[in-house]
């Protein structure tokens, strides 16, 4: 049977884990400039892969472009068929 956990034994999610990124903000249809080291901690290629997976799971298309200090991303809602 499930029990309440001692909060001191629960670790914080690692950067990149679900719930860490503000997807609701970033999926507004506008271009965002995200900086490696402040907006995400992984490599840029790994973050773009995480963003593509989020787009696929939530009905978005994603455009990305590399930046010198991170990436540009733009999520748009897929058209209903």
Position 27 in a domain? yes
**Is 61 domain-assigned?**
yes
37 or 4, which is more confident?
A: 37
Q: What is the pLDDT of residues 69-79, one digit of tens each?
A: 999 999 999 98
Q: Is residue 16 part of a domain?
A: no
Q: Is residue 5 part of a domain?
A: no
The set of residues, in sequence order, having a beta carbon less than 8 Å from that of 58 and lying 6+ positions away, is 23, 27
Residue 9 placed within a domain: no
Domain enclosing residue 71, as ranges = 23-77
Q: Is residue 6 part of a domain?
A: no
> What pLDDT does residue 63 have?
97
Number of folded domains in the chain? Answer: 1
pLDDT tens, position by position, 35-58: 999 999 999 999 999 999 999 999
The pLDDT of residue 46 is 97
Q: What share of the chain in percent tops pLDDT 90?
A: 70
């Amino acid at each position: 049977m499930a029990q309440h956990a001692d909060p001191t034994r629960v670790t914080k999610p690692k950067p990149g884990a679900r719930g860490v990124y503000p997807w609701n903000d970033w999926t507004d249809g506008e271009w965002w400039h995200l900086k490696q080291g402040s907006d995400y901690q992984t490599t840029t290629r790994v973050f773009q892969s995480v963003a593509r997976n989020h787009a696929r799971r939530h009905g978005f298309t994603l455009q990305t472009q590399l930046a010198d200090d991170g990436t540009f991303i733009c999520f748009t809602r897929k058209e209903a068929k």
